[in-house]
């Protein structure tokens, strides 16, 4: 009888070209897709490739997405974007998305992901791709250069840490609250650079964009990858994104029923309130009500974590017919230009702007302190982003709280943190 394998083991075994792998074993994998952005991509790898006199092993397996320094605001950022465009042309990389949105959102949106792929990304939030049943993880630029030259990368076959969510999410409670609660219980290194897999009836009920939020913040658990076994919801998303039906294998990318995870953590969605992470760690999370009354200068809905169409709709459901409080600013940077178009078409954007939201360009923006919307000394922000490390969004004395788009929108209206359910009729 063949050895039972987890989904993570199956994905790694396929890429390693072997029948079976066991967690802990070190293997070399063939890379199906390498994704880079403007900050850690061509700007960093081009000089390394030049030093080596090497070319990209397979330009058709590379996707480049400019999202960090967009749009250019000074000579440095303009230069980085220009270098990226020129490199892509010279290297023969056809899959290039220039200022179309944030890489982790654009990658699936444009049909580049599917179950079974082994993908490296030059960004720490690369586990987002695991929401589609792909094994995707983040690497630094030097390691990316190694992939570009050889088409291979080594890794230690991960153990699987199962995060099982059962019950039912209440109104005004979202995937962001689930992952903040998970960070609080497991801590910022609870993922131990292994594979986190989300399971349970709650996961099955979530749309893809919410699943992406969970896998995205597997990074905040310190996991290498965040996985969700693909199902019909996955398939419907991918078909809509233009992936051919015969390229979508759902049944083949399920963990074996008798492959036990190394750890399992059970959570009850029915008892989960809206959560808020206080400065300076996502693990510093507690019910939003515990932070009620904390005044905010800025509310920010943005980033790969918290500005997908679903996220904008959550914010709109709170903001509809209301106004942003005097003395508070609400900045919204939709995660992709396609999302902006969709939100314009369904009326979501109008709801946001009528409430007084200021729309920003699609990109990583203020989340990592690169773009528009950074904070002054002593300011307080609540954001739908993934990280609230000290100084990340600007001045080192600024404070960032994290919450769901519902919670961020509620804070924008109230001028202070509140439980968003107060605003949902």
Instruction: Tell me whether residue 140 or residue 252 sits nearer to other proteins (CB atom).
Output: 140
Which CB, 122 or 255, lies closer to other proteins? 122
CB atoms within 10 A of CB 388: 24
CA–CA distance, 391 with 369 (Å, rounded to integer):
8
Beta strands in 54-171 (DSSP E): 62-66, 95-98, 118-121, 135-138, 152-156, 160-166
How far is C-alpha 88 from the chain's CA centre? 24
Distance CA 9, CA 157 (A): 7
Nearer to other proteins, 274 or 394 (CB): 394
Smallest distance, other proteins to C-beta of residue 209, A: 23
Q: What are phi and psi of 94, to 5 degrees?
A: -85, -30
Least Å distance, CB 349 to other proteins, is: 28
Question: Which residue, 281 or 328, is less far from other proteins as judged by CB?
Answer: 281
Check if the beta carbon of residue 274 is closer than 8 Å to that of residue 177. Answer: yes
Q: How far is the CB of 324 from other proteins (least distance, A)?
A: 26
Reduced to 3 states, what is the DSSP secondary structure of residue 332? strand
**Which residues contribute to the site for other proteins (CB under 8 A)?**
39-40, 44, 48, 51-54, 69, 74, 76-77, 80, 122-124, 126, 138-143, 145-146, 149-150, 188-189, 193, 219, 222, 224, 281, 368-370, 374, 387, 389-392, 394, 396
**Cross-strand partners of 96:** 64
Q: Classify 412 as helix, strand or coil.
A: helix
The residue (of 142 and 205) whose beta carbon lies closer to other proteins is 142
What span, in angstroms and rounded, lies between the C-alpha atoms of 52 and 44? 13
Nearer to other proteins, 80 or 206 (CB): 80
């Amino acid at each position: 009888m063949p050895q039972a394998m987890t989904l993570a083991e199956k994905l790694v075994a396929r890429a390693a070209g072997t029948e079976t792998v066991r967690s802990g074993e070190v293997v070399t994998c063939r890379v199906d897709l390498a994704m880079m952005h403007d900050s850690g991509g061509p700007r960093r790898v081009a000089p390394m490739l030049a030093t080596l006199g090497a070319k990209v092993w397979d330009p058709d397996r590379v996707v480049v997405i400019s999202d960090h320094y967009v749009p250019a605001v000074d000579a440095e950022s303009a230069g980085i974007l220009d270098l990226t465009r020129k490199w892509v042309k010279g290297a023969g990389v056809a899959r290039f998305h220039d200022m179309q949105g944030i890489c982790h959102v654009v990658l699936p949106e444009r049909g580049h992901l599917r179950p079974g792929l082994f993908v490296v990304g030059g960004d720490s939030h690369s586990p987002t791709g695991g929401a589609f049943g792909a094994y995707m993880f983040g690497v630094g630029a030097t390691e990316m250069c190694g992939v570009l030259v050889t088409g291979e990368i080594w890794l230690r076959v991960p153990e699987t840490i199962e995060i099982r969510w059962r019950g039912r999410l209440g109104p005004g409670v979202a995937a962001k609250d689930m992952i903040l609660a998970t960070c609080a219980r497991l801590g910022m290194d609870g993922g131990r650079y292994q594979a986190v897999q989300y399971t349970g009836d709650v996961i099955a009920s979530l749309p893809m964009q919410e699943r992406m939020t969970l896998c995205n913040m597997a990074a905040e658990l310190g996991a290498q990858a965040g996985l969700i076994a693909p199902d019909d919801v996955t398939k419907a998303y991918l078909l809509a994104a233009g992936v051919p039906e015969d390229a979508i294998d759902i049944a083949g990318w399920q963990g074996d029923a008798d492959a036990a995870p190394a750890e399992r953590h059970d959570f009850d969605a029915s008892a989960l309130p809206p959560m808020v992470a206080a400065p300076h760690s996502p693990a510093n999370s507690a019910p939003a009500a515990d932070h009620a009354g904390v005044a905010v200068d800025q509310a920010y809905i943005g980033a790969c974590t918290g500005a997908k169409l679903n996220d904008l709709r959550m914010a709109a459901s709170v903001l509809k017919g209301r106004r942003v409080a005097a003395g508070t600013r609400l900045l919204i940077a939709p995660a992709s230009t396609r999302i902006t178009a969709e939100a314009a078409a369904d009326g979501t954007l109008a709801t946001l702007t009528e409430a007084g939201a200021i729309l920003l360009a699609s990109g990583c923006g203020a989340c990592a302190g690169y773009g528009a919307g950074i904070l002054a000394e002593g300011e307080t922000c609540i954001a739908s982003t993934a990280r609230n490390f000290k100084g990340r969004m600007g001045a080192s004395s600024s404070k960032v709280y994290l919450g769901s788009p519902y919670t961020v929108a509620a804070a924008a209206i109230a001028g202070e943190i509140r439980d968003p359910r107060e605003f949902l009729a």
